[in-house]
Structure 1
Amino acid sequence: MLTFRVVITGFLATVVSVAQAQMPANDTVKGGKDHPLLTRFAGAKLVGYEVKQFDEATLPAGKRVRIAGKLGFEKTLRLEGKYTRIAYVYPQDRSSLEVMRNYQAALEKAGMKSTFACAKETCGENFGDFVQQQRVGYNFIQGGEAATSPFNYGRNDNRYLLASGTRPDGSALTVAVYMVDPVQGKLGGVYLDIVEGKSMEGGKVSANLNAADMAKGIATDGKVAIYGVYFDTGKADVKPESAAALAEMATMLKQSPKLKVFVVGHTDNQGAVAQNLTLSQRRAESVVGALAGTYKIDAARLSPKGVAAYAPLASNRAEAGRQQNRRVELVEQ
């Protein structure tokens, strides 16, 4: 089994400071435990814990920036598999730099490769606010003010590391480590996302499909499926994580200035047909709006169409097929 060790040296157990007295006496989450692949920083107490045997997760893999006026990330990693979330607090006399260095060393020793790392302002605009609001909100952290406040007060003094590797059985393993410094008399905080499994197929396609691939697909088949355009369930607003795919679509269209396309929205067969027809049409219109507004593509070259689940690429009986059917296509007019 792939095992990590977070080893701390030089801790003076005989020194009891006021900061240490503020630490919870024990872990505050009933049933919570360290992940079997990654131990905790010595002296830390577990204050948040959740495990889902199979779920999807979207992890930041780039700076937090504004895309089309909305805050998002330059890049994200979309994963599925066993998803574990853990939060700890650690003593005031330790720094986030020391704690992060220990985690980084443990991950590297286990053969994990860092794919993105940042600290404070290099993480981008309001990175800490995103984690505090979307990951370690008060419903996740348990243990009162001493456990919750570090992630709030320290959100501008943060560090983040994303690392990926492969387990002995060949399955993918991804670990995201976020932490905040002890500031303003508060404890330090650590938050972990650990995903054991394979990358979602949609994420793989969006990462590899560039403007040249899109142009080739249209020239060969008269159409190309795009899996890097994302929407929240039941919603039509294009998510910020779609920026990379939209940019490649725009590049392809600019390189072929005479090309006109139908922008076709597809859904799976879950839900009422009428609702899916409306939803797929609205999503197609959102993509056209983004291409025309943000990327300055002539809207006269783009015609939005929504077809719901009327043109599946795979069976809708299983999630793998439904995932393949949820897409945006560019179809040559």
Structure 2
Amino acid sequence: MKTLVVFLALGLPAQAANLTMPFPANQTFAETRPLSSHRIATEPFDGTLPSITAEGAVTRRIWQLTGAETTLQILAPLRAQLIEQGWEEVFECATRACGGFDFRFEIDVTPAPQMFVDLADYRYLAAQRGAAWTTLLVSRSGELSFVQTTTVDPDAEIAPLDPASDPVAPSDLPTPPNTSDVVQTLLEMGRAVLPDLDFRTGSTELAQDSYASLADLSDFMKENKTIRIALVGHTDAEGSAEGNMAISRRRAESARTLLTVKYGVAPGRVEIQGVGFFAPLTRNDTEAGRQTNRRVEAVIISTP
């Protein structure tokens, strides 16, 4: 895995957003890239995503919060803080009004487990102050809420981040003995394909009643009792977007049923999502490629 050089702004740059989370929060991710770009949505998705691309020092921070019952309870006080600091709101939307899954997969989101976006419950805000831009993305998953803030500041001065202050990464989770390939990948990347779960085109049923990947996943979760995961279903590109979204969710549900009923993982620790054909691993113009894309992935969504 490539090592990313991480930077942090010196003090508070003139244009940076300085936000206080409105609920108990743990910052799980922070980086600033000295010269990069960030795509900013300016209107809802409607076949395409109206957007601008801002360039400069791109600072991203992610928090996990507890105690909020809605995404608006989080976004509203953060929006008020931005306005008080002189930021001007350019665009704001919520879930369906944003464009649903199409919008979510067009914007720039840090992968799970740092950031998790429930396709049925998220909010987005873009604000501008001078030449700088800030975007907020808020979502909830069970009892946890997630906030991603991204600020693009062409005038920021930066210096290397002290490694001692870097937030805990998923790879800092305890590694159980005799770790399987699935669990090792989950620890290193925060997500892992369950490779032995095989689906035919259009099918949502699993042919077997036991799978090594689910057994390994259940052992890992039983040894790490505070971890929660999402099972995310995927399809090939055959059929409509709406139909594939439904199929992918049912595939995730089939895997969840086995994981909870046969392998004894508590249902409250396993969520399901379906993303249809919007996150392929490879091309869909061969049968081998389509088979690869029909899959279920495990994604860590909360850690100790």
TM bucket normalised to smaller: 0.3 to 0.5
Larger Rg: 1
More RCO (CA 8 Å, sep 6+) = 2
TM-score (norm 1): 0.35
Name the one with the larger helix percent. Answer: 1
